[in-house]
Structure 1
Amino acid sequence: MKSLVFTVATLLSLSTAYAQTWGVDKAHSGVAFTVTHNLLSEVDGKFKTFDAKITSAKPDLSDAVFELTADVNSISTENERRDGHLKSPDFFDAAKYPTVTFKSTSFKKVEGKKYKLMGDLTMHGVTKPVALDVTMNGPVAMKGMGGKEQEKTGFKASGTLKRSDFGIGTIPVVVVSDEIELKVTGEFTKQDASATAEKK
């Protein structure tokens, strides 16, 4: 029995030891959303400031864990007055809840490049499970700047959530839809293992 426990513990520690971190290329990534206004038109928004990473022990990223943080104060709908209202206590209350975070709990292949991503989204002080549809391109090896070969991968995640589930805004749904469409795109680069170890 002790031998079995030791073996399992060893395998788990080895899995953690060989886990690789993939850093986000912010210039080729984005965190965006869409709402419907007055039941007539769609308004697009985004968080200009965000960070994300992937941790995986398997080369094909089939065991990937996704983490994302967005700065609420960086919200932008290309309208300064509207952005100010979104940051106010009427909606996100950025002064009290300055960040939106997501951490995945499972990542399962559906077919081909299609995956289902489950995770916990924390927004406006409320944490709820969400499900996202993901398309993964890669991983692939390619030459980056300076001719150095790097492993890269790309993701496109989309899903729908209700702002009422997170207590964001009491404005009637005929003015601003309760359903919010999410679209997150990301290009990630596998980090050098020695560099990652130095940061710890």
Structure 2
Amino acid sequence: MKTTKIFSAVTLVLLLLVLTTFTYAYWAGDLNVNAASANGQTLTIGSGENVKTLIEVTDVADTTKLLVPVDRVVNENQVSSYTYDYKVNWYDADDATVGSLEKTDLIVTPVLTITNSGLTAEQILEMFTVTVNEGKAIPITLSGDQVNVSVVLTFKNEPASKAIYDKVVNGKLNLALTFAVNPEAPTE
């Protein structure tokens, strides 16, 4: 009886170890390093592919300060904006899909959502703004130097009503970014 219990315990531990190893290997093999979502991340764009990253604003690793509307910052634990910095490279994937295009503009497309809120994009944009590189064009060169991209999320206005406030407080603010190169309009 005692041997059976020991054998069962050892078998269970080995089974958990094997399952944990295979689960980790499966997920690690499926991750796309180029689409990581950390502040200060270096992103590499290959030919013909967008790079997407998602920032969950309620779980920001680089700050513990609360995001509040611009005119409501009252102490050092509150801020009205977060800044995210990225370094972006553009390389051809050696499949000749880039053609003769060697210099163009980087396009960064932000999309804000608040999970489980039911708020429309218009309602969210009444409260928050996202500014990429202060609104300036971002020239990028194929196989050239990294370009720096600064994304600023600002809580510009209070929610219009208590109902909207409750949806914001009970939801999770997400900022999704898509990085792409403009295939048609090179920078002059």
TM-score by length of 2: 0.28
More strand by share: 1
Higher RCO (Cα < 8 Å, 6 or more apart): 2
Find the structure with the greater CA-based Rg: 2
More helix by share: 2
